[in-house]
Amino acid sequence: MDLTGLSATELSDRIAGGAVSVRDVMSAFLDRIEAINPKINAIVSLRPRADLMAEAAAAERSERRGWLHGMPVAVKDLVATKGLRTTYGSPLHADFVPDTDDLVARRLKAAGAILIGKTNTPEWGHGSHSFNPVHGTTLNPYDLGRSAGGSSGGAAAALAARLVPVADGSDMMGSLRNPAAFCNVYGFRPTWGLVPQDAEGDTFLSTLSTEGPMGRSPEDVARLLSVLAGPNAETPFGRPGEDFAAGLDQPLRGKRIGWLADWGGAYALEPGIAGLCEAALAVFETEGAIVEPLAPPFAAEDLWRSWTTLRAMLNAGAKADLASDPAKRAMTKPETLWEIERGLGLSAADVYAASVIRSRWYAAAARLFHRFDALALPAAQVWPFPAEWRWPEAIGGRKMDTYHRWMEVVVPVSLIGLPCLAVPAGFGENGLPMGMQLFGRTGADAAILAMGHAYHRATDWPNRRPPLL
C-alpha cells in the first residue's frame, strides 16, 4: 500500500483505527522524501530520521491527541518552530533556531502532528517564486524546470509530490493560492482573523496576511482549517473556529457564481488560462450551479493603489531595520528593500486614502454577495515560469512595472480579507497546471469549502500525479 498517496483524512482514520502504525507512516513519507525531495527542494531543514522514528514510536504509545496524531508535517519556513531551524529564507537568519513555537506550530503539535522539517519559501515571503540564498529554489513537480510558485511554494510542491499529507501556508498576495495553482493542489485563504496572528509587532493594522491550510482535497483542507482556526486571546479581531468538514456534503444546484475573468482586461493573462478556468466553471454548471459573467465591479487601478500603499506601509513598519542597517541591507533582497523604501516615503494621508478605497471595495463586494454565492477569478495570470527567472517581467507584451504586478489578480480577495479556495482547474496544452479562485463573503468559509468539495468529487485533479512519481 502506498501510504503517501492516501488522503490526509484517510490516513488519519487508518492510524486511529490501528490499520496502519505511526512508524509505518513516518517511514513511508521519509522514504518518499529521500527519493523525491532532492529533485524539487520542497522540504528544508529536515530533522534526522532516527529522531523522527523515535518520535513516531512515542506517538504510537501515547494517547491520541487529535486529527493529526502521528502524521508527519513540514511547516512553512516563515513560521518559528522551537528547536528547529527557521530562516525566513534570509541569510540573516540562516542558523536561527527559535526557543518557542509560533501559534501555527503550536496548534499543529497540539493536534498530534510530528514536525519533520520546514517547507521552502522566498526570502521574507516576498514574491511568488520560492527561491532564497539559504536553501535555493523549489522546483515544480510537474516540470522540474519551472517555478512552484510562492511564497508557499515548498508546501505546494511537497503536497503534489506526496512528501506530506497536508501543509500550512500563508497568504498576503496569493502566497498559497498561486502555488496551489502552479502545483495542482488546493489552497485556502480563510476569512481574515479566523486563523489568528501571533501577538508580535502590530496586530491592529496588519490585516492583509493570514495563515491557511493546503491539501490535495477540500476535505483535508477543511480538517486542517479546524485545527488552525479559533481566537488568540492576545490578538484582536478573533473569530470562533468550528468543524469545517462537518457540512461539506452540500449540493451545487442553484448556487450562483459570478465569473470576473480578466476584470475587463485589467489583468493580463497568458493564453489558455481563462479558457481553462471557464472549463472548470462548466463543471460547476454540470453539477447544477449557475455561472454568470460579470463586468468589473470596481476600478482595478484603485485596488492596486490601495494594495501597494498598505502593503508597503506594513513592510516599512515591520522591517525598516533591514534597510537602515548597512550590514543587514547588504544581505536583503532588492524587492524587500523596495517595499520598505516605498513605505517610508508614504504620508498618513496616503495611508488613509488607501484605506478608504479598501472600505469602498468591501462595501461593493458585499452588495455582489446579495446576488452571488461565490465569485471566481483565475488563481494566477501566468503559467508556471522558468525556475531561473526572478519573476515574469511581462505578460503577453504588457510590461510588469513592479516585481509583483504579475500577481495582481489576487488583490481583490486579499485587500478585504475574503475567504477564498484555490481549486485546480486542470492542465493546459503545455501540460502545466493552473487553478481558479473561488471566493465568498466574509465568514462564508464553510460554504466555499463545500462548493470546492462538490467540484473535487467531479474532477479530482490532484489525482493526476506529477511525472516524477
Task: Tell me which residues are annotated as active site.
Answer: 76, 151, 175
- For 468, the 3-state DSSP assignment is coil
Q: Which residues contact 433 (CB under 8 A, 6 or more apart)?
A: 142, 181, 182, 183, 184, 384, 424, 426, 427, 461
End-to-end alpha-carbon separation of the chain, Å? 15
> Cβ atoms within 10 A of the Cβ of 342, count?
17
Q: Which of 270, 288, 276, 303 is nearest to 400 (CA)?
A: 270
Closest CA to 115 of 189, 160, 48: 48
Q: Is 469 helix (H, G, I), strand (E, B) or coil?
A: coil
10 Å CB burial of residue 396 (0-12, 13-18, 19+) is exposed
Buried b or exposed e, range 87-123, using 16+ CB within 10 angstroms? bbbbbbbeeeebeebbbbbebbbebbbbbbbbbbbbb
Specify the 3-state DSSP secondary structure of 101.
coil
Report how far residue 339's alpha carbon sits from residue 302's, in angstroms, rounded to the nearest whole number. 19
Look at phi and psi of residue 416 and say left if phi exceeds 0, alpha if psi is from -120 to 50, else beta.
Answer: alpha
Reported in sequence order, the residue ranges of 302-403 that DSSP labels E, i.e. its strands, are 374-378, 394-395, 398-399
Q: What angle do CA 314, 318, 321 make, to 5 degrees?
A: 130
For 156-193, letters b (16+ CB in 10 Å) and e give: bbbbbbbbbbbbbbbbbbbbbbbbbbbbbbbbbbbbbb
Which residues are CB-contacts of 239 (< 8 A; sequence separation ≥ 6)?
191, 193, 194, 229, 230, 231, 443
Per the CB < 8 A criterion, the answer to whether 148 and 156 are in contact is: yes
3-state helix, strand, coil in the chain (%, to 5): 40, 15, 45
Orientation angle between helical segments 273-286 and 445-459, nearest 10 degrees: 90
CA distances, 35 to each of 40, 72, 77, 367 (Å): 10, 16, 22, 51
